[in-house]
């Protein structure tokens, strides 16, 4: 019995230790940006963003490769600063928001690429299709937030390139580029 209690105590200590190493952070949308850029006919770059989204990061600072991220975006919130284009983007040619109001990225693998950089690969579900996607991430800052409750905060920059045709968005290719650059500039605070 004593040996069993010793093993149980050791397992509990390991579990608590692993849990203590991981911290959960939530996006502060008032100080963040989640957007995209796409080439238009070779003449210009159309830029847009989403206003309604959530980002949760679980960071294991002792073993960063055991971290993860979930990004959830409401496709109805797309905004390119031109209403007729935004209405078209919400239709079946693009996001088809009536049928697929949410897209989601679940980062499953984190590979450290430098002192403050990593590549996160995972699954992007868009328009009912799930395919692999990757983001290059830079940790810009990790410190106590200087206002309010002084919680730990993160500043991150992330980017990646997707082929929209992989998710069935074939409209106007190649006039409008198949490749879309994804940009996230985020401020996250430790979750309660």
Nearest alpha-carbon partner for 126 in 56, 10, 36: 36
Map out the domains of the chain as residue ranges.
Answer: 22-190
Q: What is the pLDDT of residue 81?
A: 98
For residue 146, what is the DSSP state? S
Q: Strands 102-112, 22-27: parallel, antiparallel or unpaired by DSSP?
A: unpaired
The torsion angles phi and psi of 98, rounded to 5 degrees, stand at -65, -40
| CA–CA dist 68, 28 (Å, integer) | 18
Using an 8 Å Cβ cutoff, are 59 and 112 in contact?
A: no
Task: Report the distance separating Cα 128 and Cα 45, nearest Å.
Answer: 27
Least confident of 13-17, 25-29, 63-67, 76-80: 13-17
Q: What residues contact residue 3 under an 8 Å CB cut-off, 6+ apart?
A: none
What does DSSP assign to residue 102? E
pLDDT at 5: 39
Q: Is the pLDDT of residue 59 over 70?
A: yes
Element (H, E) at 18: helix 2-21
| pLDDT > 50? residue 17 | no
Q: Express each pLDDT in 7-16 by its tens digit.
A: 433 433 443 3
Q: What is the mean pLDDT of residues 24-44?
A: 97
Q: Is 158 exposed, middle or buried (0-12, 13-18, 19+ CB in 10 A)?
A: buried
Per-residue b or e along 126-152, where b marks 16 or more CB atoms closer than 10 Å to that residue's CB: bbeeeeebbbebebeebeebeeeeeee
* Digit-coded pLDDT (tens) for 92-135: 999 999 999 999 999 999 999 999 999 999 999 999 999 999 99
- In this prediction, what percent of the chain has a pLDDT beyond 70? 90
d(CA 127, CA 132): 14
pLDDT > 70? residue 4: no
- Its CATH class, for the domain covering 22-190, is mainly beta
What integer pLDDT is reported at residue 15 of this predicted model? 39
Cα 119 from Cα 133, distance rounded (Å): 10
Q: Tens of pLDDT along 165-191?
A: 999 999 999 999 999 999 999 999 999
């Amino acid at each position: 019995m004593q040996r069993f209690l010793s093993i149980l105590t050791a397992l509990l200590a390991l579990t608590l230790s692993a849990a203590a190493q991981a911290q959960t952070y939530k996006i502060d949308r008032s100080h963040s940006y989640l957007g995209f850029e796409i080439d238009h006919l070779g003449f210009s770059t159309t830029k847009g963003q989403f206003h309604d989204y959530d980002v949760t990061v679980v960071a294991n600072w002792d073993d960063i490769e055991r971290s993860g991220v979930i990004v959830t975006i409401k496709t109805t919130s797309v905004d390119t600063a031109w209403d007729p284009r935004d209405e078209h983007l919400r239709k079946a040619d693009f996001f088809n928001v009536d049928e697929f109001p949410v897209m989601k990225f679940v980062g499953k693998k984190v590979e450290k690429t430098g002192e403050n950089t990593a590549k996160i690969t995972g699954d992007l579900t868009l328009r009912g299709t799930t395919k692999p996607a990757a983001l290059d991430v830079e940790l810009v800052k990790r410190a106590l937030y200087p206002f309010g409750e002084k919680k730990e905060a993160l500043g991150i920059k992330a980017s990646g390139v997707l082929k929209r045709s992989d998710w069935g968005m074939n409209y106007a290719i190649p006039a409008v580029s198949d490749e879309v650059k994804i940009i996230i500039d985020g401020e996250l605070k430790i979750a309660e």
